[in-house]
A and B are shown apart, each in its own frame.
Chain A
Amino acid sequence: MAEQASASNDKSVQVKLVLLGEAAVGKSSVVLRFVNNEFQANKEPTIGAAFLTQKCRLEDRILRYEIWDTAGQERFHSLAPMYYRNAQAAVVVYDVTKASSLEKAKSWVKELQRQANPNIVIALAGNKVDLVQPSESSSGGTSVDESEDEADDATATGGEAPAPSGEGESLRQVPREEAQAYATEAGLLFFETSAKTGEGIVDIFTEIAKKIPIEHILASARGNAGRPGLAGNRAEGAQSQNVNLDQNATKAKDACNC
């Protein structure tokens, strides 16, 4: 129960984070990778929204991410404000193999900048880079724990889901430079990620943690007084899966499995 003690010490900070982006770009997969260090080839679409938490250590601080993973389809759009209200951070995800998904991402960024918490930290994530990487890295990228049969089905039949064949870069529809330029211009953090391989996932959350005005949150949280029963039913589950954000990003996977 050492974790719980640290959770209640004043260095623990709660950060509300929301994931936005077009349907099927991999939002839920990104969260699942971050929280459970897993990947499921056929993740059911998110209906409404899902809620997950993850604790991480940044320097001497414990951060507790409260993550709202929203539904991507356009008609769920009107529900989004319910989830991004009071969020301190947002990850806007697009799919590097789908140009239209970046357009959707841009419109989310606009909406956040206009309507969300003014201090919100926004990160742009171009997901599924494993699909556009040269074959050596993509073939080796798949770890054993992923359910292979499902992955095979998905790639074999899904009209949209391109197979990670030797075509490599040709699947890419969004050049890294273009997205990077946009992110810089809009003042966003930027990453290319793969929920499948885990590439870039921990980095997003690390960089967000660094950029967030933690002192500010702490001050306002103290005003709210403690929320006593908080850790109760989650502490144990989260304990083993703590992510140490200080770890080098490339070693993230091992770090997470501790």
Chain B
Amino acid sequence: MATISTALRHFKEPSKEQLTHTFFSIPPALDGTLDKSEEVEGMEINAVLSLGEAVEDSYAGKLHIMSPFLAFASLDRKSVRFTIPLSTIRRVERLNARAGIYALSLLTWHGMKLVVQLTSLRPTADLFCSLLKDALKLELQRGQMKLVKSFVKTCYSEVLVSNSSSAPENEREDGSLDDQIPNSEEITYHGGLGLKFKFPGDPKKLRETSKIKLWTTYLKTHGRNLTLLRYPQYTRLVQVGLPNRLRGEMWEVLSGSIYLRFANPGYYERLLEEHKGTTSTSTEDIEKDLHRSLPEYAGYQSEVGINSLRRVLQAYSFKNPELGYCQAMNILAAAILIYMSEEQAFWLLEILCDRLLPGYYAPSMHGTMLDQRVFESLVQRCLPMIHEHFQEVDVQLSVASLPWFLSLYINSMPMVFALRIVDCFFCMGPKVLFQSHHSTLFPAILKINGEKLLQIQDDGGFLNLMRDYFASLGESAHPDSPDPRARAITNFQELLLVSFREFSIIHSIESFAKRSAIRNLRTFGRFTKEQVGFVYDALYKAMCLVPPPPTSAPPPTLFTTGDGSEEKPETRIELKTFRHLLSEVATWARDEKIVMNGFQQRIDREVAEHEFIDRLFYFWDVGCRGALSFQDIVLGLDGVMFNDLMENIEWFFNLHDKNKDGYLTKDEVLVLSESLLFIFRFEVGDAYLGAVSRFMTNAFEYGDALLPRPEPKEGEDGERASSPPPIESNQPYLNLATFRMVVLADEILESFFETDLRNSFKLVPLPEMELPISSTGLLGDIWSSIATDTNKKMFNMFTDEIGKTIGRHQVIHRPSIGRYTTLEEPKARESLLTPSMRKSASKSSLKSSAAASTSTVSTAVGDAAPRPASSASSLTVNVPSPAQLASAKSALGSVPESGSLSAMPMMKAARDAALMERTPFAIDNAQDGDEDEDDFFDDDEEDDQVLDEVDAFLEAHDSGLTEADKKVAQDLLKAEPVK
């Protein structure tokens, strides 16, 4: 449909800032209400949040300052979060805590104390504090602070927390007001028509009293209205259904419309006043529907309700004339007006139409259309049986779903259930693109009714089935179950359960796209579904960093929602993206440097570039399209990750056999050696270098020896016949059998092909590159992430510089394989031909390594491989010393004459390449090289420990807080402010 494609075309990936605002339900400021020039810059910082009085655990997360708000979200982005207007904060104190801990205590207007420990570096924390100070000052100047007290009087939660008994005495059980009993105090809080006309549903069944009690307890300790904190219990309380009296206010808070109401006092009344007497098509349309909005509710059988509804709908149409009024908005507005005042409803409607359901009610209704398509394809992927059946009998899902979505199920199912769905809808918030969260409900409804749906024959049958199902939501889902608890589960509860459990994972289009991409694979190869998922993640990450060219399909976020016939062509990535992808999954395809400068330790990670990687790309590109699909990548990885020794040798051989004739040319042998050198470039010690040079020696020896020799012919020179025949560098030279023999002659290569190559591919996502290591540093105690990447880079550069000047700067390349750290005497696998030659080569390299001096010492990363005993006496070398080069040369020198003619320039290149790869180590040479061997040995062990720590940190990184961190957070609650 045209509207969808236009909507898609106009679809802009929301900026990070927009996403953050949306996540925290921070509404956009109304035009002209905020002077941009005096806005305070936003910033986020790592922090640990503790709640005064320690009623809750501490949570690690990110604290944001987004003037005029302070917001926090725990690391998992769902356990804990809050959005608090700065104007509700009355005092900020720096806490006097253990040295190196930077913590603030925030006191809200009603005396709630929050302690936030800023776990970023001191300068960052200082910056954050000064921004916070500026922002608070600005709020004070704008007079917002003064408004808080009068504003909160409009919130029912204040009544709840101030009353010792949980409800005012003139309230009926459902929360509406009894006119018979006069209230001693004047009512200042906002409320809906329900106060006068009662609330829908049976208060006993809804368990109003106990819900109110639970909420009162929660609100007393976790803030309320503007200052409400969302801890895990909160979400649970919302999911069981909000109590009538709090519903309106909670909707406001959850959606963020309360911030609009707070920021724009009197706006609603003024708007109505200004437009008094104005008529438009919208006002005409509204009039038509006023009496057609929840007509069965008593409030709308009275002037009072009708007039409220008219004013709210009109006010919205004045505020947003472009959208104006759309049928279904009357139903929404009528429903929310039962629970909230006109002003509250007006702002909530604004958020609903603008933020939560964008494009739903617009004249083009593109949001509705888009979501319909999304849902249809969702059903196609998740419930293919139902989809097929519907196709067969020509039933369109949208005949049922469209009205549901437009009116948020209100008036499609019994009111009490629809309201609970609305509760959840506001609570879970909008997700980007997947606009409506009730979408998860939709597949759940279909799934539950699966069998019956397969029986339906036409649209009418479908609609009737759905109507009957909705009508039965209050009935038991398992009426025949012997277990009374199972019998007590209603259809509605089951529906929520299914939709949360099974479909809430489809919360973003990415994971949806992921599932469909995985489903569309012809084969997983030997991978499990989970592993394929990892491959997809790596691919997705790479595509975000280096998007495929516009000629190919768009990134996976913009998938087509149509049916199979208009499926978009497969997304394919080019070489550049491939390099990123590979760097995610293969250790040797990235350059990892562990940098230590005395203040911090971090891993710098870069994408490696090498002909070998390009070769792999073309090798996997079986269709010769110059681009790889997800399937190509999966199969490509499958081809190398499950092989045994022999298969891997063959794989590596084929990779380098360009013309696939079963022979490597001499050139190809050299290229293959370069590939090995590339893979081994960060290995510690020269064991691997030695292995490659031995490989070359042997390859040429064997190759020459096995060349078919022309039968010595009669009368020919006998000497000539015994020497290898001359062969061009691009002629078939080495076959697989010979190659295998050469590889197996070397222990290191054998182990490489047997396990190391396979293990160098790791599908588990890479951990973050930040290593928060509490070091003995000078700048601060805690290193953690700093707000932006640029900041991080700056900081890194800065500390590196200092590190260098004070001589504590160290860079260690992380080895890709890390099995052999020292050169070993080749084991007794004697060459068939000339063992002596190989020996001499390795001897010399052994000597060179002993003579080499270097500042950096490193070791294998926790590899299980037992370190050979010889390691104690040998050094690990990072910088090729002249002696080493000489050894390499001598290895080259041992290449038989016939090969070396053409081999020499290639090898020189290879050697240069090796040298280049290692140049970063040059800076390490700043240290004096006179230390003796014992020192190196000690360092070696120390580094071992450091690296163990690194690994430990990498593991602990995700898990929020350690026990020690928790202790610190607890202590902070008692800490005194700095004098």
Contacts and interface: CB of A to CB of B under 8 A. Distances in A.
Interface stretch (B112-120, B172-180, B452-460, B861-869): B452-460
Interface stretch (B281-289, B374-382, B495-503, B666-674): B281-289
Interface string A46-77: 11111111000000000000100001111110
Contacts of B455: 229, 232
A48 B331 contact: no
B402 interface: yes
A78 interface: yes
A52 B459 CA distance: 10
B365 A76 contact: yes
A23 B288 contact: yes
B411 interface: yes
A48 B403 contact: yes
B925 to A, nearest CB: 72
Contacts of A43: 292, 295
Nearest to A42: B295
B422 to A, nearest CB: 16
Interface stretch (B257-265, B322-330, B602-610, B690-698): B322-330
B966 interface: no
Given A229-B457, A234-B464, A44 B402 contact: no
Given A49-B399, A229-B456, A24 B288 contact: yes
Interface string B454-484: 0111111101110010000000000000000
A133 to B, nearest CB: 22
B327 A71 contact: yes
Interface in A152-206: 153-154, 157-161
B287 A159 contact: yes
B174 to A, nearest CB: 23
A73 B306 contact: no
Contacts of A49: 399, 402-403
A74 B282 CA distance: 11
A75 to B, nearest CB: 5
Contact of B291 (A72, A79, A158): A158
A61 B464 CA distance: 25
A52 B306 CA distance: 30
A224 B937 CA distance: 86
A64 to B, nearest CB: 10
Interface in B173-224: none
A158 B396 contact: no
A233 B464 contact: yes
A29 B808 CA distance: 85
B327 A160 contact: no
A201 to B, nearest CB: 20
A207 to B, nearest CB: 23
A47 B456 contact: no
Interface in A23-55: 23-24, 40-53
A157 to B, nearest CB: 6
Interface string B273-308: 000000000001101111111110000011100100
Query: How big is the A interface, by class?
Result: 35 or more
A223 interface: no
Nearest to B412: A47
B920 interface: no
A230 interface: yes
Contacts of B290: 157-158
Nearest to A64: B460
A215 B407 CA distance: 41
Contacts of B369: 78
Interface in B370-396: 393, 396
B292 A24 contact: yes
B327 A47 contact: yes
Given A48-B406, A51-B463, A229-B455, A75 B365 contact: yes
B399 to A, nearest CB: 7
Contacts of B289: 23-24, 45
A234 B459 CA distance: 13
Contacts of A74: 363
Nearest to B290: A158
B751 interface: no
A149 interface: yes
A44 B326 contact: no
A89 to B, nearest CB: 16
Query: How big is the B interface, by class?
Result: 35 or more
A228 interface: yes
B331 A160 contact: no
Contact of B287 (A79, A160, A232): A160
A216 interface: no
B424 to A, nearest CB: 21
A230 B326 CA distance: 35
Contact of A73 (B294, B327, B407, B461): B327
A38 to B, nearest CB: 14
A230 B458 CA distance: 8
B411 A44 contact: yes
A67 B628 CA distance: 51
A42 B406 contact: no
Given A79-B402, A150-B295, A160-B288, A47 B328 contact: yes
B456 to A, nearest CB: 7
B405 to A, nearest CB: 9
B871 interface: no
Nearest to B393: A227
Nearest to A14: B458
B308 to A, nearest CB: 13
A76 B327 contact: yes
A1 interface: no
A230 B395 CA distance: 13
Contacts of A159: 287
A258 interface: no
B455 to A, nearest CB: 6
A82 interface: yes
Contacts of B291: 41-42, 153-154, 157-158, 161
Nearest to B361: A75
Given A44-B292, A150-B301, A229-B457, A160 B403 contact: no
A154 B301 CA distance: 9
Given A51-B460, A66-B460, A227-B458, A23 B287 contact: no
B828 interface: no
Contacts of B399: 48-49, 51, 82
Contacts of A229: 455-457, 461
A51 B462 CA distance: 10
Nearest to A233: B464
- The listed residue with most A CB atoms (<10 A of its CB), out of B301, B362, B406, B465, is B301
Interface in B328-364: 328, 330-331, 361-364
Nearest to A150: B295
- The listed residue with most B CB atoms (<10 A of its CB), out of A53, A72, A73, A154, is A73
Contacts of B287: 158-160
B898 interface: no
Given A24-B289, A233-B461, A45 B330 contact: yes
B398 interface: yes
A78 B1 contact: yes
22 contacts: A23-B288, A43-B292, A47-B328, A47-B403, A48-B406, A53-B460, A66-B458, A71-B327, A72-B327, A73-B326, A75-B362, A78-B369, A82-B398, A157-B290, A158-B290, A161-B291, A227-B457, A228-B457, A229-B461, A233-B468, A234-B460, A234-B464
Given A44-B295, A227-B458, 14 more contacts: A23-B289, A24-B288, A41-B295, A44-B411, A48-B402, A75-B326, A78-B3, A82-B396, A150-B301, A157-B306, A227-B393, A229-B455, A229-B457, A232-B461
Chain A to chain B: the 5 pairs with minimum beta-carbon distance, closest first = A42-B295, A48-B402, A24-B288, A47-B403, A48-B403
Interface of B: 1, 3, 284-285, 287-295, 301-303, 306, 326-328, 330-331, 361-365, 369, 393, 396, 398-399, 402-403, 406-407, 411, 455-461, 463-465, 468
Interface of A: 23-24, 40-53, 66, 71-76, 78-79, 82, 149-150, 153-154, 157-161, 227-230, 232-234
